[in-house]
Amino acid sequence: MYSISEEWPDFDHEHMRDSNLFTHRKFWNLRESEVDYLPLSFSREDTGELIAFFCFAQWNNEWKTPYLAPYFYPYVKKESLLPEILNLLISYLKNKKHLTISITLAPLFLLNEKRMLIDLINAGFTIAEVEVTSYLVVKTGISFIQHIVNRRKKRRLKSLLGSELSIKEISNEGWSQYYQQLVGWRKIKGHQNLISTEFMDDAKIELPENFRGLVLNDTYQTLCLAIFIKVNSTCFYVYSLITNPDYPKENFPLLLWNALYEIAQRENIPFIEMGTSMKKEGLLNKGLLRYKVSVGGRMSKKYTVQC
């Protein structure tokens, strides 16, 4: 039998040490002034051993996970226990407050999310949204340029690599300035800004090893910026990679993709999630998807389920 407590697990425990950042208490605490959230730890009654962990925000008349993050990856010690845990989870949340339960899962390419999706559907969840995402597979001994499918882009990257443009990782001191610049560029291009400057400043202070960025400069100005998140030891998540609006037709992003790939190689990170290719109205952004595939991205899907 299992007991449920509204408490956070010990993330320093060996089984939780490499847990997904979007599951972690420090990440959720960055939003504690905005929303009420409910951590749920499932443990064996006899030994107290942690078996599973979820966290939900009470938001928009839903029990929702995650809250303003790409996805939530629950901790489950053994996959075979998930069906029983899901039944307990549904009952507990519905008894607490009868709201819709909404879970956005990690993309299918990450570990065994397909099995988790099947278990959720068997437990009574239905698919509410499907998003197309892309990812790069990082391999030792294979360079980023070898992943590029488009020959013109491959030639352009070779040319850019021979230029005098400089790439550096954004320092703690320059973080706020560069993120404000990125937000400004996104506004000019009509992109949504889902993460506020205030949140990013706090995130860099609290989780400096996870929230990171790259900047491409010439002698006079910034040409391209990237903000990426180290989710755990297996994945970088790219929140935004954007070119200076004054240079819309340049291939500067290739240099940052190449630099990010090399960082992943050095840090033994096997995947780079390139983000979804969706429009605001939920339609597929075919142009963005084609671009990601042309530079070596593979397609995957991300599901939101509700009960």
For position 78, which CATH number holds?
3.40.630.30
End of a domain among 81, 104, 127? Answer: 104
Q: 27 CB contacts (<8 Å, ≥6 apart)?
A: 21, 69, 207
End position of a domain, from candidates 54, 85, 104: 104
Tens digit of pLDDT for each residue in 233-246?
A: 999 999 999 999 99
Domain extent for 145: 139-269
199 plus 98 within the same structural domain: no
The total number of structural domains in the chain stands at: 2
Q: Find the range with the poorest average confidence among 9-13, 70-74, 226-230, 264-268.
A: 9-13
Residues 88 and 161 in one domain: no
More confident site: 73 or 171: 171
Instruction: Answer yes or no: is 251 within a domain.
Output: yes
Mean pLDDT of 199-222: 96
Tell me if 83 sits within 8 A of 62, measured CB to CB: no
> What is the Cα 34 distance to its own chain's centre?
20
Whether residue 220 lies inside any domain: the answer is yes
Q: For residue 168, what are its two tokens?
A: 């550096």
14: three-class secondary structure by DSSP: coil
Q: What is the pLDDT of residue 275?
A: 94
Alpha-carbon distance 125 to 20, whole Å?
Answer: 23
- Predicted confidence at residue 111, as pLDDT, reads 63
pTM of the model: 0.94
Q: With a cut of 80, say whether residue 14 has pLDDT above it.
A: no
Checking if the pLDDT of 13 tops 90, the result is: no
Q: What does DSSP say about strands 36-44 and 271-276: parallel, antiparallel, or unpaired? A: unpaired
For residues 182 and 227, the answer to whether their CB atoms sit within 8 Å is yes
Of the residues 86, 104, 122, the one at which a domain ends: 104
Q: Which amino acid does the sequence have at 164?
A: E
3-class DSSP state of 296: coil
The answer on pLDDT for 20 being more than 80 is yes
Do residue 148 and residue 46 come from a single domain?
no
The model's pLDDT over 63-88, given as tens digits with 9 standing for 90+, comes to: 999 999 999 989 998 889 999 999 99
Say if 44 falls within a structural domain.
yes
Residues 172 and 259 in one domain: yes
Contact 218, 230 (CB under 8 A): no
